[in-house]
Structure 1
Amino acid sequence: MREADIRPQQFDDLRMEARARDVAWLRSRHATFAAANCPACQGRADRAAYEKLGFRWDRCGVCATAFMNPRPSPETLAEFYARSELYRVWNDVIFPATRDVRRTRIFRPRMDRLLDLCVRHGLAGGCLVEVGAAHGILCEEAGRTGRFSRVIAIEPSAVQAQTCRDLGIETLEAPVESVCGLDGVADVVAAFEVVEHLSDPAAAVRAMTRLLKPGGLLMLSTPNVDGFEIATLDSASDSVYPEHVTLFTPIGMRRMVEDAGLALVELSTPGQLDADIVRGKAMSGVLDLSTQPFLHRVLVERWEELGGPFQSFLAASGQSSHMWCAARRVV
């Protein structure tokens, strides 16, 4: 898979203009931000990580998670997402144009991986809850498998919640922390590319844990700040952007789920795009590889030969910037 397959370049200007307006709005609220400890483990920051667009991310001295500090309140972030022009562009333009390829290249493989985890950990199906269901494709795919007797979407965005309802998906329009009446209902709770956007991700994980039956499985995906793409590009990475207020390390993810009363069963980095993204930055002049002959050879000179195997190595060795975490509720 290439980055251009899911983020077509013809929409780059539209996307970046909308994103710039969103960032300007959030920056205008910067005086209301508050200093914080690490959202993953409550450790204290011990060094700066990134400075970008008027925002700062620090590194935790315990788990090395990078987090915006000072950071916006949950209320400010809720308003930010509710009024986001970028999310409107994604919903109205980019996602409809890429829906089919995303279904084929992202959501079906994601569902296959989720089902494989269920089988390996003895879950036959039952109720699946997706937190941050967005456009509802994963919920659709879950329904099509016939493996789940009930599929529920939790989506705080009014526009995206309506998209899920229009697809016939049982939908709750609320943040997961506010959901009532579903405690102990779910065999599986999934939240893909969600926790990095939240002011208090640990509180959200605790709320997701409440939804699980004893023995139920929580599945999360999020950027891995220590993975190849982010570590190589540093603040030039598109993952380092104000909507990503927390960028976890594997250690931080482990601490967060274990503190919620879950037992970690798998932590992996099955990413497919690190090499392609870094190559794209090099080819566009954002990243200079002239002093990195090995990366220049892999990503430029012998890309067709070495690019795929290199990405496979990153995924298999835990070095991709795309991370999966699976954990079980033990009580």
Structure 2
Amino acid sequence: MAGNATQVAVLTWRSLLIMSREWKYYWLRLILYVFLALCIGTVFSGLGHSLFSVMRRVAAIFVFVSFTSLLGVAGVPSQLKEIKIYTYEESNQHSGAFVFLLGQLFASIPFLFLISISSSLVFYFLIGLRDEFSLLMYFVLNFFACLLVNEGLLLLVASICQNIFWSILSFVSIHVIMMLSAGFFRIRSALPRPAWMYPISYIAFHTYSIQGLLENEYIGTSFAVGQVRTISGYEALGNVYDISDDSNSKWKNLLVLFVMAVAYKVVIFILLKCCIRKNHSVHKLFRCNQNRKDYK
């Protein structure tokens, strides 16, 4: 156990040094994320806090979560590089899959948190979300968990494809499908139940992130309708997005995001143990089958 702990510490420190020196790992992504948050924030700025702003604010949050997650495609080359390093070290018995995943996770956390807090601050104040510190911290945590899940998905896709073209194509395609089923274009409860609602909308991390952020923003609020009547924030979102009126629901969504991040790591661990060490990939299998057809 002590040997594994030492290996994790060494790999974490080495990865931290590489990630901090190589601008393509996270520094470029930090600039892109902040720039995208600035663009989205300025487009949706000045929304106000009336009942009529609800739909536009939902759109802003959906665009922020979806587009920033999609921007994670910029990390494909670095993830492929990490997999190559792991394959080389594993073949020489320098480190195993568990040590590799833990080292990479611990090294990436500071950069992901820096991206999440900087992007969240820019977006949060530009579109004028509720000015409470606890709500802001939840927004940052939610987006941080979203980035963790996205990194897991990115590494999973890169591990399967092991090719930059197929990795980018697969990652973008998966994100588009998740965005379609996230409940913005059509309310989640109204999605066709085969495939789109079950299981895609439950697999899409966008669903839990957006739902948690909307619950964070609107649960406990009210809007005036006319002179004497008010409706709750939950009722205001009734025809726009499916959320729960439970005040603890946003924390459940946050928990789901962290569980999904762990689940992706478990799947990647199994994949690394079973396939990567044998130098197998979907892309290579496809290429092999194609060569056989050409030969025939």
Same fold at TM > 0.5: no
TM-score, normalized by length of structure 1?
0.28
Structure in which a larger fraction of residues adopt helix:
2
Q: Give the alignment's TM-score, normalised by structure 2.
A: 0.30
- Report the structure number with the largest CA radius of gyration: 2
Higher relative contact order (CA 8 A, sep 6+): 2
